[in-house]
Structure 1
Amino acid sequence: MIEEISKENIDKKVQMAAEAYQFLKNTTVKERAAFMNTVADQIEILGEELLQTAHAETSLPFTRLTGEKARTVGQWRSYAKAVAKGVYTEPRIDLAQPDKQKGDLRKYNVGTGPVVVFGASNFPFAFSTAGGDTASAIGAGCPVIVKAHPAHPKTSQLMADAIIAAVKESGWPEGIFSHITGTSYDIGAYLVQHKEIRAVAFTGSFTGGKALFDMANHREVPIPVFAEMGSINPIFALPNLLENRAEAFAKEYLSSLTLGVGQFCTNPGVCIALKGESLDRFIIALKDEIHEIVPAKMLHKGIYESFEKHKTIASGQPEVDIIATADTEIDEWQGRAMVIKTNAKNFMKNPVLNEEVFGPFGIIVTCETSDEMMEIAQQLKGQLTITIAATDEDARNNLTMVNLLKDKCGRLLFNGMPTGVEVVYAIQHGGPFPSTTDSRFTSVGPDAVKRFIRPISFQNWPDEFLPEELKNENPLHISRIVDGEVNSGSLKLQTT
């Protein structure tokens, strides 16, 4: 039974976070990085109990959970390394000059204040309680209140305990991190509308993310909601590629489509291609391959029921044919893969076919001409990823379409499959609306810290009162922009 937290207890935790923010504002990047590494240490030592608990609550295999735990530890450490370098404080110093009216100006970034993080169901470690949202918010200098996902409450508590242990070990205020449980939507709504909350991070459905976004924007003082809401992640399979490797491409596509029972936000839900003999070969290969796909248990009953509902709705639309369905006998909550086919005109006029079906479900869209393919590209909503499956010649022949698709996604792939992300600086996990609520930011990689900072400028302040990042001596030894030039040294100013 999941404990439903009261509004009085929420108020207490938010107030603790607000007080902890005053503490965090005065920590340096080095101190926050050290804390983040302590959290990583605490997660790393979580043993078999964590994996067994997560497996029991999510049905995810142990190999996947072991890898995800390592990724989560890696996130805390890599974000800590970036924070320690001062990458996100972005110190800027313009020294007083005779021709400058404002004198000495210095600017850097600080955390925005307490952040609410909503745990995701499909990544119980990496996108949940101790996931990248929590790590990046703390790295920015923001206390975090996690609203645990009800699909894995015991797993969430174990990860919360690891962060709480790091808080105690570091001697930091208790309000740095709080863990809230409950199944009522009112809890989330109350948190988002609380006057002391300054930002929200969410990973989940469009309905949930958009509701939080609207609440936050109707507050007396609006706040940002960084919601990652999924997408159909289309693949444009171009003619020469299909002609050369239709069968191999079918295997790759189906493998990506069914990876993790299709429960990835970068799942390639739509494949768009020109009609012809090569596409026919691709479809035949899909029929052959899908029978080898063994259904597996989905994360929880709610996701399974949603998958079955939306799969049935999409496959029952006019001018839609079922190409193939995994025919292995299934057990409780097991997602059975399906691929359907429709024509370009029907795809463009039917909004149902443009909506994400979260699970192992794909749509093959057949185009009569390259102009139809271009029309689909023009009509597409914002996506997390778009893939161009092509040879170099294909790309040269479709540069106009490729250029257009740059406006439609956060990550544009040339071949390969979109499932999975690399936790590195250059990753972009976030795209134009409705895939996310703010395409300027990523929720994966060290740059995720940028979501939770704001700049503040200091004019003519004595050195002793400036933050460490802006002091003349540069005691943190970080890179700064001084009078327009990169400078990692101390400033030897003349005194009168």
Structure 2
Amino acid sequence: MIVETSKENMEIRIQRATEAYQFLKNTTIKERAAFMNAVADQIEALGEELLTTAHAETSLPLARLTGEKARTTGQWRAYAKAVASGIYGEPRIDLSKADKQKGDLRKYNIGIGPVVVFGASNFPFAFSTAGGDTASAIGAGCPVIVKAHPAHPQTSQIMADAITAVVEQFGWPEGVFSHITGVSHEIGTYLTQHKDILAVAFTGSFGGGKALFDIANRRENPIPVFAEMGSINPVFAFEHILENKAEELAKEYASSLTLGVGQFCTNPGVFVALKGENLTRFIAALKNEIQEINPVNMLHKGIFENFEKLKSIAAVQPGVEVIAEATTEVNQWEGRAMVTETTAQYFIQNSILSEEVFGPFGIIVACETPEEILQIAQALKGQLTITVAATDEDVRLNIKLIDILKDKCGRLLFNGMPTGVEVVYAMQHGGPFPSTTDSRFTSVGPDAVKRFVRPISFQNWPDEFLPEELKDENPLQIRRIVDGEVNSGSLKLQTT
């Protein structure tokens, strides 16, 4: 049974987080990086209990969970390295000069304040309690209060205990990290509207993310909600690529669509192409692939029931035909893959067909003309990813379309499939609304830290009282912009 955290308990934790923020604000980037590396070590040392518990709660295979555990520790270390480099402090120094009215100006970024992180169900390690949101917020200098996802409470507790152990090991205030549980929506509402919470991170459904976003914007002091929500991640396939590799592309698409029972936020739910012989070959090959897929359990009963509901609604829409479905009998919460087909006009006119179905479900949109493909691109809402399946010649012939697609997504792929993300600087996991609430930021890769900082400028302050990032001697030995030029040295040495 999941314990419902009381308002009194949440109030205590928020107060502790507020106090811990004053502590974290005065830690150096090196100290926070050391803490983050210690968390990675602590998680890495967790034994089989973590994997077996997560497997029992989510039905995810042990091999997948083992890889995700490695990704999680890798995130903490990668973000720690980035934080230690000083890149997110963005120190700027404009020295006092005779022609400057304001004298000495120095600016850098500090943590925004206490952050609430809502754990995701589909990645119990990497996007949940000890996931990238928690790592990036602490790296920025923000205390974190995690609302555990009720689909894997024991897994969440194990991860929370690991982070808490490092807080104690470092002798840091208890409020640096808190972990609360419950199933009611009132908890999320209470946390998001609390005056001392200054940012929210969320990964999940559009309904959940938009609700938190609206609550945050109704506050007397509105705060940012970094919500990653629904995305259909369309694939636009062109004539030359289909002519050359229709069967191979069908295999790639089926594999991506059904990977992890379709429970990825980058699942390619729509495939757009011109009607004709090449698309017919693709569909025939795809049908064979889908029919051979063995259904396996989805993350939990709620996700399975929602998948079945949304899949059924989409499949009976006017102009929609089921062309392939896994033939194996379904047991318990097993998600059976399905692919449907419709026309461009039905797809454009019926908004239900462009809504995410979280699971192994795809829609093939057969277009009569290139103009219809252009119309679909123009009608698209914001996406996490869009894939262009094409040859170089296909791209040359569709430059106008490609330019439109750039405006619709956070990550634009040239061939390959979108499922999976790389935890690197150049990854963008965030796109125009409604895929996320703020397309300027990413929730994957070291740049995720940027979400939780704000700038503050110091005018004519004595060096003694400046933060380490802005002192003359540059004790952290980081790169800074000094009078408009990149500078890594001591200002004292340069002026003597």
- Shorter-chain TM-score: what band? over 0.9
Q: Distance in 1 between matches of 2:436 and 2:19?
A: 30
Q: Distance in 2 between matches of 1:59 and 1:378?
A: 39
Q: Distance in 2 between matches of 1:494 and 1:261?
A: 60
1:190 corresponding residue in structure 2 = 190
2:362 corresponding residue in structure 1 = 362
* In the alignment, structure 1 residue 140 sits paired with structure 2 residue 146: no
Q: Distance in 2 between matches of 1:351 and 1:179?
A: 38
Alpha-carbon distance, 1:493 to partner = 7.0
Q: Distance in 2 between matches of 1:100 and 1:87?
A: 27
Q: Which amino acid aligns with 1:449?
A: V
Alpha-carbon distance, 1:389 to partner = 0.2
Q: Which amino acid aligns with 1:387?
A: T
Q: Distance in 1 between matches of 2:137 and 2:58?
A: 26
Alpha carbons 1:230, 1:266 under 8 Å: kept: no
Alpha carbons 1:118, 1:201 under 8 Å: kept: yes
Q: Distance in 2 between matches of 1:352 and 1:327?
A: 25
Residues 461 and 494 of structure 1: CA distance in aligned 2, closer, same or farther (over 3 Å): farther
The within-5 A match list for 1:34-433 is 34-433=34-433
Alpha-carbon distance, 1:289 to partner = 1.0
Residues 258 and 98 of structure 1: CA distance in aligned 2, closer, same or farther (over 3 Å): same
Q: Distance in 1 between matches of 2:264 and 2:494?
A: 58
Q: For residues 162-196 of structure 1, what are the alpha-carbon distances to aligned partners after superposition, in whole Å with 9 as ceiling and x for unaligned?
A: 00001011110000000000001000100000110
Q: Which amino acid aligns with 1:89?
A: G
Q: Distance in 2 between matches of 1:340 and 1:134?
A: 38
Q: Distance in 2 between matches of 1:345 and 1:253?
A: 23
Q: Distance in 2 between matches of 1:494 and 1:128?
A: 47
Q: Distance in 2 between matches of 1:244 and 1:495?
A: 65
Which ranges of structure 2 fall in alignment gaps of 5 or more residues? none
SS of 2:435's equivalent in the other structure is: coil
Q: Which amino acid aligns with 2:146?
A: V
2:26 corresponding residue in structure 1 = 26
Give the root-mean-square deviation of aligned CA atoms: 0.9
Q: Which amino acid aligns with 1:265?
A: C
SS of 2:378's equivalent in the other structure is: helix
Q: Distance in 2 between matches of 1:166 and 1:74?
A: 17
Q: Distance in 2 between matches of 1:10 and 1:289?
A: 49
Q: Which amino acid aligns with 1:4?
A: E
Q: Distance in 1 between matches of 2:280 and 2:437?
A: 38
Q: Which amino acid aligns with 2:194?
A: H
SS of 2:73's equivalent in the other structure is: helix
Q: Which amino acid aligns with 1:375?
A: Q
Q: Distance in 2 between matches of 1:230 and 1:312?
A: 18
Q: Which amino acid aligns with 2:400?
A: T
Alpha carbons 1:133, 1:201 under 8 Å: kept: yes
Q: Distance in 2 between matches of 1:165 and 1:257?
A: 39
Q: For residues 4-28 of structure 1, what are the alpha-carbon distances to aligned partners after superposition, in whole Å with 9 as ceiling and x for unaligned?
A: 0110000000000000000000001
Report percent identity of matched pairs.
Answer: 78
Q: Which amino acid aligns with 1:13?
A: R
Alpha carbons 1:344, 1:373 under 8 Å: kept: yes
Alpha-carbon distance, 1:290 to partner = 1.1
SS of 1:122's equivalent in the other structure is: coil
Q: Which amino acid aligns with 2:344?
A: A
Alpha carbons 1:115, 1:144 under 8 Å: kept: yes
Q: Distance in 2 between matches of 1:134 and 1:184?
A: 22
Q: Distance in 2 between matches of 1:394 and 1:136?
A: 39
Which portions of structure 1, spanning 4 or more consecutive aligned residues, are displaced by more than 3 angstroms? 493-496
Which ranges of structure 1 fall in alignment gaps of 5 or more residues? none
SS of 1:150's equivalent in the other structure is: coil
Q: For residues 134-171 of structure 1, what are the alpha-carbon distances to aligned partners after superposition, in whole Å with 9 as ceiling and x for unaligned?
A: 00000000000000000000000000000000101111
TM-score by length of structure 1 reads 0.99
Q: Distance in 2 between matches of 1:236 and 1:486?
A: 42
Alpha carbons 1:139, 1:449 under 8 Å: kept: yes
Q: How many residues align?
A: 496
Q: Distance in 2 between matches of 1:364 and 1:75?
A: 35
Q: Distance in 1 between matches of 2:495 and 2:166?
A: 44
Alpha-carbon distance, 1:230 to partner = 2.2
Q: Which amino acid aligns with 2:453?
A: I
SS of 1:297's equivalent in the other structure is: coil
Q: Distance in 2 between matches of 1:158 and 1:89?
A: 32
Q: Distance in 2 between matches of 1:144 and 1:275?
A: 51
Alpha-carbon distance, 1:281 to partner = 0.2
Q: Which amino acid aligns with 2:189?
A: A
Alpha carbons 1:233, 1:269 under 8 Å: kept: yes
